[in-house]
Amino acid sequence: MALVNPHGSKKKLMPLLLKGAERDDEIGRAKDMKRIDVSSRVSGDILMLGMGSFTPLTGFMCKADWEGVVEDMKLRKDDPGTFWPLPVTLDIDEETRKNVNEGDEVALYDKETGELMATMKIEEIYEPDKKKEAELCFKGKGPDSEKFWDVALDEHPGVQQVMNSGKYYVGGPIKALSEKDFIQKYGEHYMHPSVSRQIFEDRGWSTVAAFQTRNPIHRSHEFLTKIAQEVLDGVFIHALVGKLKPGDIPGEVRMKCYKALIDNYYNAERTVLGVYPLEMRYGGPKEALLHGVFRQNHGCSHLIIGRDHAGVGDFYGLFEAQEIYDTLWDGALELQPLKIDWTFWCHKCEGMASLKTCPHSKEDRVVVSGTKFRRLMSEGKVEEVPKEFSRPEVLEILKDYYANPEARKVKIKKGAFEDLK
């Protein structure tokens, strides 16, 4: 059997990153173009477009695609009718709008580093309904969504990202020119979809489960990935290393944790570790769908989805990210969700278990929570972290990280999903 096809009607990867002489020529041309400085979120999207992870997109969405995605989760212009769950947009402020026009070729520079990221042919400049985008993309079924606009502007990073962005969106195709410093930082683990697909094919895999992570892998995560390894050919631990929210653990620290865990507790022949440069939207169910889209591009047939996937605060129901996959129409995605119930360490079972398998009471269980762990460590309460949270090699790396006072400055809000209900 073959791997799943890349997403979209053409069923082939569409990387937008230029290389060699073509890249050099475009960098030269960019010097004479009008300049647009872009946010870290936009830079991350450029990198995903460049490597082909966002196939079949050819650039940033024009109004028809933005509207189709927000309202129906379907592209209307770029590969019409193709499923796409969250907008991929380039925003500009009113001052920048005065200097650019439809039809212009512009150079996109990372606002933080000043690095040239891409060139773009502006097809359309439009003013989006950002409140509509925030509600349709980020409002879930959790307790916080009952008072969505009372709390979202202060507590939902994705909503803040949209509402604080520039007044206008600019749509059009891009030519990506940079990979920033991700190759230097992460080496062979920074994988384009073409590379991960080749690795899976070389191993003879046709069924691969992607595991999305922005945290160190604790025992619950490890349990999920090993369930996948039991029923599929292999697992692709695919870690986000783009910009995170305050309090999240840096990518370089997490990579040490992943490698220590895989070296000591995983079957290396059935495990692949990769990273990708996207910035989290914290979009819960809609982001879980986006995770499915680009994991299909990377060659994965399944995406592991546990509780509160890509969630933040109490904005989403515990298993809303699983449920949304059931609402998709036939053919929306080839990739399928691998849905797994709430997992925990059970003292009486003497191991990891789930609500589907464990007959014991709440008092016998240690619920492994990344949020709770980060809060305890940032407060210096190392002794309160249960040994069942993660493997000792991982805990030692994290203890060293949190010994740095800088890592303990961010106050972590108590999560509502830390205890079994």
Catalytic residues: 214-215
CA distance 341 to 56: 32
CATH number of domain containing 36: 3.10.400.10
pLDDT for 412: 52
Same domain, 73 and 175: yes
Report the phi/psi class of residue 60: left, alpha or beta, with left for phi > 0 and alpha for psi in -120 to 50: beta
Same domain, 197 and 89: no
Q: Is 417 inside a domain boundary?
A: no
Same domain, 98 and 61: yes
CATH number of domain containing 379: 3.40.50.620
Joined together, the tokens standing for residue 84 give 């796409």
Largest CA-CA distance found in the chain, in angstroms, rounded: 69
Amino acid at 7: H
CA distance 350 to 76: 52
pLDDT in tens, 139-185: 999 999 889 999 999 999 999 999 999 999 999 999 999 999 999 99
Helical ranges in 139-181 per DSSP H: 148-155, 157-163
Q: Is 162 inside a domain boundary?
A: no
pLDDT for 410: 52
Same domain, 176 and 226: no
Same domain, 254 and 302: yes
- Structural domain including 111 reads 20-127+167-180
CA distance 101 to 99: 7
Total of domains in the chain = 2
pLDDT for 244: 74
CA distance 31 to 59: 20
Q: Is 156 inside a domain boundary?
A: no
pLDDT for 416: 35
pLDDT for 241: 94
Same domain, 282 and 348: yes
Same domain, 115 and 233: no
Q: Is 421 inside a domain boundary?
A: no
- The list of the chain residues with pLDDT below 70 reads 368-369, 405-421
Same domain, 175 and 198: no
DSSP 174-209: EEE---TTHHHHHGGGB--HHHHHHHHHHTT-S-EE
Joined together, the tokens standing for residue 278 give 């996207």
Same domain, 212 and 72: no
Same domain, 225 and 174: no
CB-based burial, 18-54: b 16+ in 10 Å, e otherwise: beeeeeeebbeebeebeebbbbebbbbbbbbbbbbbb
pLDDT for 417: 33
Same domain, 257 and 286: yes
pLDDT for 406: 66
CA distance 158 to 312: 9
Q: Is 191 inside a domain boundary?
A: yes
Instruction: Return the percent helix, strand and coil in the chain, to nearest 5.
Output: 40, 20, 45
Q: Is 347 inside a domain boundary?
A: yes
Question: 411: helix, coil or strand?
Answer: coil
pLDDT in tens, 198-231: 999 999 999 999 999 988 898 999 999 999 999 9
| Distance (Å) of CA 48 to CA 6, 42, 175, 210, 280 | 14, 10, 12, 17, 13
User: Of 125, 159, 126, 155, which is closest to residue 143 (Cα–Cα)?
Assistant: 155
Would you say the C-alpha torsion 313, 314, 315, 317 has a positive or negative sign? Answer: positive
Phi, psi torsion values for 74, nearest 5 degrees: -135, 140
Same domain, 332 and 300: yes
pTM confidence score? 0.94
- The answer to whether 92 and 36 have CB atoms below 8 angstroms apart is yes
Q: Is 136 inside a domain boundary?
A: no
Q: Is 374 inside a domain boundary?
A: yes
- The answer to whether 310 and 283 have CB atoms below 8 angstroms apart is yes
